[in-house]
Structure 1
Amino acid sequence: MRGYRRRSGLAYLLGVAAACGLTFSVIAALLQLPDTAWWGLRARADGIVRRVAEDSPAARAGVEKSDRVILFGGQPWALSELVSAKPGDTVRARIRATDDTEREVALRAEPMPGPERVRKILFGVVALSFLLTGLVVYLSRSDAVANLFAAMCLLFAHQVAPAAPPTSFAGLFAKKLLLDLSTLALPSVVLHFFLLFPQRARFLRAGAYRSWLLYVPAIVAMPLAIRFDLDLFRTGRISSAAEIFEATSALVFVAMIAWGVASFLRGVRNTESPPLRKSLRWVLPGTAAGILPPLVFAALLNVVPDLELPLENYAFATLVLVPLTFGHAIVRYGLLDLQLVVKRSVLYAAVTAAVVVAYWLVAEIVAGLVGRSGNERTIVSFAVIFAAALLSIPARERIDRWLDHLLYRDRFDYRRTVRRFSNHFATMIERDQLGQLLVNRIPELLQTERAVLFLRTSRDEA
């Protein structure tokens, strides 16, 4: 990470705000797991049932695969997250069978079983791993590779991060729309990153405009995604055009990611620097093993939704290999500046924890004063997150100085010492004074016991 300017100002503020917002969302969702109602039912957005867990409330109510949930707690299935229920509550649902007969069933919610809780916690661990890795890189350097790596980590984290159920129609629509848009943007960002790292690919060297071509599929698809989401929330059904769009998007997604991974493999193979090749030795298989399995599972399930694959609920867990292998390369081979990464990781973890605590303390107090409705609490949440991120700038500087003293107590602040040395040096004009200054300060700068200065004199002086 040496040689790169650290971020400051608005870029720093946006990075911290995004990290704090997503971190709080993950933590809040995980804290709500004990009170989360579990139905043992998975369905598409239009209510078509794809999975029914054995001995679950849905199975005992007679819900079967390929049935369609017309209403759930009085809401279309697309809005089912708005149904407020806790373990022990009973919700009535209207089910349409494959023969078009309809019936009404009662589902009694149960606490989330252990395997499902483990799955949610794994989601959170993977999301936070990506988030912390991306944040450290983003705030430590400001080049294009760092921007793309941080964006890739943020998008991956958003894809797998568990989220608390929204409390309003607007919140639910925003959640669905943001997830769809991030899904469309992710393959372009991943491909762009791997075309730049570890070396610029031939495709990008042919012209600067080509980097923008990578985002054309996402730019074209985003308006269509917005249109189909509006139709879904208005009608509660997925149109044939939307199904074709989803299948096509999934294929493009996998194709672009595969292209990116192939470019990464080719870049590593063509890297001439032995230290870089050694540092990337484990990043290479770790990245491939982490990204490809969930992509293959997602593509297969999008093309053949009824297909049941072994361990499909945990295929995403391999994503954690990506930050782990980068971390291994950092620790073992020095792919990045290890001391800087350790320090920044502690620094940003401390700042993030402080911001989360500030959120809980301030948001609850302010929300209690202005009201308890969903919309008001949402506005308060965003306001408090932004304010906490703004206040974290001076907090970061104080923690930074404290970490310097704690972690590097036996080392000198070279920039401060050199600056002080330069100031003294500029005020002296006598040779003897300059020599004495050099002899006294060089040991301090280089941490040596003593220094000797040899002066070359002319014959006249001799």
Structure 2
Amino acid sequence: MRRKVWSVKYVATVLLTVTVLILGGINAQQNRRYISPDDGASWIHGTDGVQARLVVPDGPAEKAGIRLGDVLKAINGQTVQNDRHVTRVLYELGVWSRATYTLNRDGKEFDTTVVVGPPAEQVLRHQKYLEIIGLLYFIVGCFVLLKRSLAPHALHFYLVCLTSFVFYAFHFTGKLNPFDWTIFWSDLGASLLLPPLFLHFCLEFPARNKWIERWHGLLYLIYLPAGVILILQLAFINGIVGLLPSPIVLRDVLDTFGDFHFGLYFVLSAAVLFKTYRTVKTPELRQQMKWVTRGTALGAIPYFVLQSVPRLSGSIAQSYIDFSIFPLVLIPISFGYAIHRYRLMDVDIIFKRGVTYTLATACVIGLYATVVVVVGELLGAGFEPLSVVARVIATIVAALLFAPIKDQFQIWLDKFFYRDRYDLRQTLIDFGRTLGSEIDFDNMLDRIIDRLGRALFVERSALFLENPFDPSRFVPAKTSGLTIPDGTNFSFLTSIPGRPYIFFET
């Protein structure tokens, strides 16, 4: 029995998606409308007051002589209460304003003038780039959910994509008003949920391993580190915990472990995908897994090596941030390419159908509009009585032409997406050359089934070889898309002496 499309999970997913899109749209609008003020330093409430946790090289704070560990006492004579108060004061001042900072360094107070500027160009570039990655994830996830909503892993994969969209596209402004806090917690929650959620998907796609079937309940332990980090972040921000002598150190530890948790889990996901790629037998599935494995590995490993590991060792490699962030886009691109090229979850079908109907509808509308315009010109020449008849005829013609126009676009799109199937002779010639270099018998049979199936539009096929114990009989050697029961009688398949092949028509 088919599952209901509009199940509770599906409705909840749709409502969650709508909520995320609304929040994301408002957040994007605020980030575009308001330029966040930046003094070139990161302030945090420590044991001695509000201290400089980070000073950006060549930023406004460094130019004003502020150093790491300086304690901020006041801004323009207004006493600083905590690190959030600094953010509120900066928003009140605005970009390109001049502010007098009263600082304490080693027990000595002094004043310095800071020119509040916009965020660094590198920060804005990274933000826009991450938003593009998040949008790619969302598009890929929507295609999978729309076409394969009833597939076992479709909903899980979509939640991975939706969580990725939140993680990459949500950016709190720093105002820390109620909406900004919502964006902050959404982003933080997504950053902690995404790594185990993606690893969970990789462990169960395309099928669960035997040990996962046996110990499935323990699989959810991979979410435990994320839960611990989230609880510690909640306790720290609300001032509940003080496990370390300095809150600055505690904040650094939480951020570092969160980043390391992200990088490590994605590297483990790439390893799981690689193991799956080495074990699957179906040629089409191997092609799918090849691309998603390579994309995930090329996206996760640079980030883990250049960002996560250095931060864990106590150093922040600012010069390598671009090289660590840029490859992350390869993960959604690899899944998108596998979906498009190798029919991963059959998403390319809905894509081609959507394009076909869109183009056909546009042509019919254009034809109808042309007829209406011509009739309009004729009306000016004194043919008013024909207007109603002309509109009726135009409607009938448009309805009759829609099907053939749609079919023609379908043919053109099939040639574009599967051009190798339309050039069968060249396909078989190239295939013959490929087989000439194949020495593994099982791989050769897989290639034959895969290539002939795609070239001849065959979804179910079986390859028969001569029975080594009875040369007059044939036995199935490889199948695709079907299962042959044990003990099936193939006595009707007989060979002719001198001809080691048969032709059989059903």
**TM-score bucket (shorter structure):** 0.5 to 0.7
Alpha carbons of 1:318 and 1:345: their partners in 2 closer, same or farther (altered >3 Å)? farther
Aligned to 1:37: 37
Where does residue 50 of structure 1 map in the other structure? Answer: 54
- Superposition pairs for residues 64-103 of structure 1, below 5 Å? 64-67=67-70, 69=72, 74=80, 76-82=82-88, 83-84=90-91, 85-97=93-105, 99=106, 101-103=108-110
Instruction: Decide whether the 8 Å contact of 1:159 with 1:183 is kept in 2.
Output: yes
Relative distance call for 1:24 and 1:305 in structure 2 (3 A) is: farther
For 1:409, the equivalent position in structure 2 comes to: 406
Write the deviation string for residues 167-226 of structure 1: whole angstroms up to 9, x where unpaired: 454445444433333333222212101101233234412233123222233334433321
8 Å contact from structure 1 (residues 184, 253) kept in 2 = yes
8 Å Cα contact 1:204-1:211 kept in structure 2: yes
Q: For residues 406 and 60 of structure 1, what CA distance do their matches in structure 2 show?
A: 69
Aligned to 1:218: 226
Paired position in structure 1 for 2:418 = none
The alpha-carbon deviation at position 293 of structure 1 amounts to 2.5
Pair 1:100–1:270, CA change in 2 (3 A): farther
Note the aligned Cα RMSD (angstroms): 3.9
Change in 2 beyond 3 A, CA 1:212/1:66: same
Q: Deviations over 1:248-284 (max 9, x none)?
A: 5544444433322211110111111101111332222
Tell me if structure 2 keeps the 8 A contact 1:126–1:160: yes
Length, aligned pairs only? 349
Aligned match for 2:302, one of 290, 293, 309: 293
Aligned residue for 1:281, secondary structure, equals helix
Rounded to whole Å, the distance in 2 between the matches of 1:78 and 1:90 is: 19
SS in 1 for 2:324: helix
Shift of 1:69: 4.9
Equivalent position amino acid for 1:24 in 2: G
Counterpart of 1:262 in structure 2 is: 271
Are 2:283 and 1:274 equivalent residues in the alignment? yes
User: Corresponding residue for 1:187?
Assistant: 195
Equivalent-residue separation in structure 2 for 1:68 and 1:109 (angstroms): 18
Report percent identity of matched pairs.
Answer: 20
User: Residue by residue, what CA displacement relative to the aligned partner does 1:5-56 show, whole Å, maximum 9, x if unpaired?
Assistant: 75566235324314413540453155236x34343345668654334232x3
The alignment status of 1:340 with 2:347, answered yes or no, reads no
Task: Report the Cα distance in structure 2 between the residues aligned to 1:296 and 1:271, rounded to whole angstroms.
Answer: 29
Partner of 1:381: none
Counterpart contact for 2:307–2:324, Cα < 8 Å: no
Q: Counterpart in 2 of 1:199?
A: 207
The whole-number CA distance in structure 2 between the counterparts of 1:158 and 1:406 is 41
Q: Deviations 1:303-355 (Å, cap 9, x if unpaired)?
A: 245433423156323221111112222232222331314667999xxxxxxxx
1:126 to 121, 125, 133: 133
* Equivalent residues of 2:131, 2:169 under 8 A apart: yes
Q: Distance in 2 between matches of 1:144 and 1:71?
A: 58
Query: CA 1:89 to 1:330, structure 2 compared with 1: closer, same or farther past 3 Å?
Result: same
Give the 3 Å change call, closer, same or farther, for CA 89–269 of structure 1 in structure 2. Answer: same
Q: Is the Cα contact below 8 Å between 2:340 and 2:347 reproduced in 1?
A: no
| CA separation of 1:63 and 1:13: change in aligned 2, threshold 3 A | same
- Distance across 2 between alignment mates of 1:342 and 1:198: 24
TM-score normalised over the length of structure 1: 0.63
Which of 210-219 and 77-86 deviates more? 77-86
| Structure 2 partner of 1:178 | 186
**Contact 1:203/1:210 (8 A) holds in 2:** no
Q: Do structure 1's residue 28 and structure 2's residue 29 form an aligned pair?
A: yes
Flag structure 2 segments of 5+ consecutive residues without an equivalent. 358-401, 410-506
Aligned-partner SS, 1:337: helix
1:282 is paired with a residue of what secondary structure?
Answer: helix
Which segment is superposed worse, 258-267 or 287-296? 287-296
User: What's the CA shift for 1:302?
Assistant: 3.8
Give the distance between the partners of 1:200 and 1:290, measured in 2 at CA: 24
Show the counterpart of 2:114: 107
* Pair 337,128 (structure 1): closer, same or farther in 2 beyond 3 Å: closer
Contact 1:32 1:164 (8 Å CA) reproduced:
no
Give a deviation string over 1:342-382, Cα, whole Å, max 9, x none. 667999xxxxxxxxxxxxxxxxxxxxxxxxxxxxxxxxxxx
Q: Which moved more, 1:268-277 or 1:22-31?
A: 22-31
After superposition, residues 318-337 of structure 1 pair within 5 angstroms as 318-335=327-344, 336-337=346-347
1:147 corresponds to which of 134, 155, 166: 155
In structure 2, how many angstroms separate the alpha carbons of the residues matched to 1:171 and 1:340? 37
Local SS of the residue matching 1:199: coil
**1:94 offset after TM fit, Å?**
4.2
Secondary structure in 1 aligned to 2:114? strand
Residues 1:113 and 1:198: Cα distance change in structure 2 (over 3 Å): same
Runs of 4+ in 1 over 6 A off after TM superposition: 343-347, 405-408
| Larger radius of gyration between Structure 1 and Structure 2 | 2
**Structure 1 unaligned blocks of 5 or more:** 348-404, 413-462
Q: Following superposition of structure 1 onto structure 2, how do residues 359-398 of structure 1 map, counting pairs within 5 Å? A: none
SS in 2 for 1:64: coil
Equivalent in the alignment of 1:358: none
Q: 1:116 to 1:189 in 2, by over 3 A?
A: closer
Shift of 1:78: 4.2
Amino acid at match of 1:293: P
- How far did 1:80 drift? 4.1
